[in-house]
Amino acid sequence: MTVETLLGRQVGDYDPPVRGDPITGERYYSRRWAQAEWDHVWTKVWHIGGMVADLEEPGDFLTHNLGRESVVMLKQEDGSVRAFYNACKHRGYRLAWTEVGGSPFLTCAYHGWRYAPDGTLIHAQDPDDFPGGNPCGRTKLEEIPCAVWGGFVWFTMDRDAASLADWLGPVGRQMEQWGMDRMTRVMALKSDVPCNWKIIRDNFNESYHLPTLHPQIANVIDDSLEDTIFEIYPDGHNRMIMRGLKPSGRYDTADILEMPLAQALEYWELDPKDFEGRASQTRAAIIAKKRELGRARGYPHYDGMGDSEIVDFHHYTLFPNLTFTMWPDGVQLLRSEPHPTDPERCIFDHWFMAHRIGDSDVVIGPMGPTPFEAVERETVIFGTRSLGDVADQDLSVAIGQQEGLHSRGYTGGLLANQEKRVQAFHERLNDMCGIHD
């Protein structure tokens, strides 16, 4: 089924009913909710631990800290990746302290125990001084499920979890069209942000805010309701497709044939003046030009893509906290995770993965032109520099909402139909956490 035939509101099988549970304010600030989410959500779902590309040699590792927990993912001799809790079996010292690293052994800095990449203890000081004898070869780090997909290393703390492929379901197969595993991560910003993680999820689970909050993108993303597809999948993931490289149907007039749409038209050898009075036709014209010129201009990845994929914005939210916006030439990942101790803060990540275009050493990312080179994650002290124009706008309201949700004047929300993904997200959380008050 093509996107053209799907255009409309929530579609068919992917429009499950919601109950209308109130979205209580307390869930955004209470320790009761934070603990329930840890017990029933964070320790049950799959998480991204880092980039496969950072693991080159056996013994290379990634770490990912989530709340108070930490996980280390190690490359094995056979090329596979295994994940372990990042805590020494001797007395619990955290073993790996950098996000990326590597050595033949993982060595604990406290008493010097050494572990092989498969988690087996291979050296302990005074090994015969232990009850039961030498612990080497018998003691192993605590292993948890690990998988590789889309260029990322994933882990889950639930040893009984469905496989990653099953957890992704049809959404995973859809996302493979963009070839994420052939992309390079060219931007990776991280910040500790003063709002609950779900405020950021709510924002990414609706597009109702676009005309008010992001008017600058209205001439390259059509945010009009009748042209946007919303789908909610049974496993809690969802998809939104917005038409790209045409102005919003809310403002279909010639005078919005400005930057950056005009720039896109010119790049693909089209004259913006030809579209005065018929701005809704820019998308189809650019699709045709991309098909005609794409391969020769360094865009061979268009060959395997459908028309919608080479021009539209496919926006996926994987439950509970990963949002991928698929652009024709790259993927933006926005993630919010719980703060280790404070329910009114969260850890926010903004990554961009891109295909190289020809031999260009620059790609156009969420921060504008960006060098095409692999980057390590960069931590930003919130408020001291931009996390991306659009992300800054989203985060500015997130902080204001965190304040308002404490008010006795907030009584559980009044959502538009097009915000159904927000409602479905919270009802799923209510059910998983077993909290319905």
Instruction: Verify binding: residue 93, ligand FES, rule CB under 6 A.
Output: yes
C-beta closer to Fe ion: residue 14 or 208: 208
Which stretch, 103-111, 177-185, 200-208, 211-219, contacts ligand FES (CB under 6 A)? 103-111
Q: Are 157 and 144 in contact (CB under 8 A)?
A: yes
Count of H-run helices and E-run strands, the chain: 10, 22
The CA-CA-CA angle for residues 178, 179, 183, to 5°, reads 110
- Count residues contacting ligand FES (CB under 6 A)? 9
The contact pattern for ligand FES, residues 71-90, with x = CB under 6 A and - = no contact, is: -----------------x-x
Among 111, 250, 273, 295, binds ligand FES (CB under 6 A): 111
Partner whose footprint covers residue 383, from ligand FES, Fe ion, none (CB < 5 to 8 Å by kind) = none
Judged by CB under 6 A, the stretch of 34-42, 104-112, 315-323, 417-425 that binds ligand FES is 104-112
Q: For the sheet containing 106-107, what is the strand order?
A: 106-107, 114-115, 121-123
List 353's β-bridge partners, or say none. Answer: 185, 331
Q: What SS3 state is found at 260?
A: coil
Please report how close the Cβ of residue 330 comes to Fe ion at its closest, in angstroms: 18
Q: Quick check: 113 binds ligand FES (CB under 6 A)?
A: yes
**If binding is defined by CB under 6 A, does position 208 make contact with ligand FES?**
no
Looking at the Cβ atoms of 64 and 335, the one nearer to Fe ion is: 335
Q: Could you tell me the CA-to-CA distances from 360 to 205, 299, 332, 370, 373 in Å, in that order?
A: 34, 11, 20, 11, 11
Contact between 91 and ligand FES by CB under 6 A: the answer reads yes
- Looking at this protein, which amino acid is placed at residue 22? P
In whole angstroms, the minimum distance from the beta carbon of 397 to Fe ion comes to 8
Cα separation of the two ends of the chain: 41
Q: Does 419 bind Fe ion (CB under 5 A)?
A: no
Q: How far is CA 63 from the centre of its chain?
A: 17
C-beta atoms surrounding 349 within 10 Å: 18
If the CB atoms of residues 112 and 234 are measured against ligand FES, the closer one turns out to be: 112
Other beta carbons less than 10 A from residue 67's beta carbon: 16
Is 394 a binding residue for Fe ion by CB under 5 A? The answer is yes
90 binds, among ligand FES, Fe ion, none (CB under 5 to 8 A by kind): ligand FES
Residue 110 binds ligand FES (CB under 6 A): yes
| Tokens 């799923």 found at | 428
Closer of 119 and 320 to ligand FES (Cβ): 119
Please answer whether residues 82 and 118 qualify as being in contact, where contact means their C-beta atoms are separated by less than 8 angstroms: yes
Interface residues with ligand FES (CB under 6 A)? 88, 90-91, 93, 108, 110-113
Interface residues with Fe ion (CB under 5 A)? 394
